[in-house]
Structure 1
Amino acid sequence: MIPKIIHYCWFSNDPLPKEAQRCIDSWKKYLPDYQIRKWTLKDFDVESVAFTKEALEQRKWAYLTDYVRHYALYNYGGLYMDSDVLVLKNLNSLMTGDFVSAVEYHPGKEQIPVIKQRIDKNGKRTTDEIRVPGIGVQAAILAAIPHHELNRDCMDFYHNCSLQEVLAKKYTAPIVISHIAEKLGFVYLNKKQNLDKNVVLFPAKVFANYNQVAKDSYAVHCCAGSWVKKNFKQRIVDCLRMNKLVGKLFSFLFVKKPDDLY
């Protein structure tokens, strides 16, 4: 059973932005029986892993988080969420496996030909290049029991890589998780997948990106980057033209209280 703990990382010395705090408020609203654990530089021995030490030295907070999310889940179990994840509904009904996440699917027009070159009709990767752009396992929302081998193997990937290599090859967290999950049966298709080791992946709309929110979404990853990027609010404003529900999310993040969302 997946423990009712929410893990999130904040390694910067800067205060948590109000938009991130709004997201955390949504966790408290829809997951009131979960303990929330914040991981900072005081909670993890960054010097213990060469990759995380490099990430700290170069102030690559996202890559430091890429390792610590798996460390937290492997050692304690629970639910990991990026601080820019807004929860829309209680997630307990989704916790049906020993490792739970969703497919992330957001290919740009220029990426679709590349995807077709790298996977077959069944969604299996056909090249030595592990990057399949625009589709993979969602990394912003992960849930697992303690000591699940998918988290262990993801940590081992970073144990055997330098930060320089990961940066050069653009191995983002979804790419790494997807690569490891292939051994359990993951395919690059946007559908529900039940993999070996009781891994359950839902379609992308369940844990949606900010421009894919639907009525049956349970959570939304509000942006694909740091909260402090200047274009964050503009990206949300752009969404208002596409989706009424995202308009409600915008109001929630910047205007309303948590109880006003629904």
Structure 2
Amino acid sequence: MHSKIIHYCWFGGSLPEHQKEYIEGWRAAFPDYEIKHWHEDNIPSDDVYVERVLAAKKWAFLADHVRLYALYNYGGIYFDTDIKVIKNFEDELTNEVECLFGFETDASSNKHYVGTAVIAAQKKSSFIKSFLNQYDNRLGRMMARNDRVTGPKVLTPLLEQKGLSSSETQNLGNIRILQRALFYPSSEEELQNCYTKHDWDGSWRTPGKKNLGDRLYKKRRKLFEKLLGRRNNR
């Protein structure tokens, strides 16, 4: 049975006003769900991973880990703070579905990555535990090199070991992966039938940092905004 909790992570200051609007949208779509904010004061202080990345103020590293900690220990749904819920997707959360993910890319990309901005899982999911362990195992290398491997690049190989193929909706035992358009639409047409939309806010990035990653992020966001017919008002 799936817990009626929506989790989100925000560290290092107050949540921007425009992102609070997303949370109000979650409440409207899931009115009987508790919304739980994970922050510096309620995360597991005795966890070695949490202790090290919190001390270094590596908020993205921290959110990668805490989202899985929350889902494993409490169950429910996790959203990045720039996820807009278009419609409720509880019909996907049957008792047979231990975990629910969605493809972030599809056949038009070189790699079929599964996203981590929207995840649903039952409490004490063995798959979420194995996913969480991947971060614990990588901690030393990531901290030494300041090398954050994004969630989809950690998650997708784990699912490939279970038989992940193509980029269509599929079930790998009790793990369900939805086609990209349902959680990560990229056109007005896809918006008509999707559950959520990711706005790619990139809020975890260091302000003013001008590196290749930031430039690629900005290009990606502009492409999504063009496809969705949106203007960048930020």
Q: TM-score range by the shorter chain?
A: 0.7 to 0.9
Structure 1 residues 58 and 32, CA gap change in structure 2 (3 angstroms): same
Task: Check if 1:226 corresponds to 2:203.
Answer: yes
Q: In the alignment, is the contact (CA less than 8 A) between 2:73 and 2:123 conserved in 1?
A: yes
Deviation at 1:53, TM superposition (A): 2.5
Task: Check if 1:10 corresponds to 2:10.
Answer: yes
2:67 maps to which of 66, 69, 91: 69
Give the partner amino acid of 1:18: E
Q: In the alignment, is the contact (CA less than 8 A) between 1:17 and 1:227 conserved in 2?
A: no
Q: Which ranges of structure 1 fall in alignment gaps of 5 or more residues?
A: 116-133, 255-262
The alignment yields a C-alpha RMSD, in angstroms, of 3.0
Work out the CA distance in 2 between the residues paired with 1:211 and 1:217: 10
Q: In the alignment, is the contact (CA less than 8 A) between 2:5 and 2:33 conserved in 1?
A: yes
Deviations 1:182-231 (A, max 9, x none): 232223x22111002x1011001100156685211110111062167679
SS of equivalent residue, structure 2 residue 42? coil
1:127-166 counterparts in 2 under 5 A? 134-165=111-142
Match of 1:99 in 2: 99
Structure 1 residues 195 and 237, CA gap change in structure 2 (3 angstroms): closer
Work out the CA distance in 2 between the residues paired with 1:55 and 1:209: 32
Work out the CA distance in 2 between the residues paired with 1:90 and 1:240: 23
Q: In the alignment, is the contact (CA less than 8 A) between 1:19 and 1:84 conserved in 2?
A: no
Deviation at 1:235, TM superposition (A): 7.3
Structure 1 residues 20 and 76, CA gap change in structure 2 (3 angstroms): same
Work out the CA distance in 2 between the residues paired with 1:191 and 1:2: 24
**More contact order relative to length (CA 8 Å, sep ≥ 6):** 1
Match of 2:167 in 1: 190
Work out the CA distance in 2 between the residues paired with 1:243 and 1:9: 26
Q: In the alignment, is the contact (CA less than 8 A) between 1:210 and 1:221 conserved in 2?
A: no
Work out the CA distance in 2 between the residues paired with 1:214 and 1:99: 23
Task: Check if 1:243 corresponds to 2:228.
Answer: yes
TM value normalised by structure 1: 0.74
Work out the CA distance in 2 between the residues paired with 1:73 and 1:55: 19
Q: In the alignment, is the contact (CA less than 8 A) between 1:73 and 1:143 conserved in 2?
A: yes
SS of equivalent residue, structure 2 residue 41? coil
Deviation at 1:2, TM superposition (A): 1.1
Structure 1 residues 170 and 242, CA gap change in structure 2 (3 angstroms): same
Work out the CA distance in 2 between the residues paired with 1:61 and 1:170: 11
1:81 maps to which of 79, 82, 87: 79
Q: In the alignment, is the contact (CA less than 8 A) between 2:77 and 2:121 conserved in 1?
A: yes
Q: In the alignment, is the contact (CA less than 8 A) between 1:46 and 1:56 conserved in 2?
A: no
Q: Which ranges of structure 2 fall in alignment gaps of 5 or more residues?
A: 209-213
Deviation at 1:23, TM superposition (A): 0.7
SS of equivalent residue, structure 1 residue 142? strand
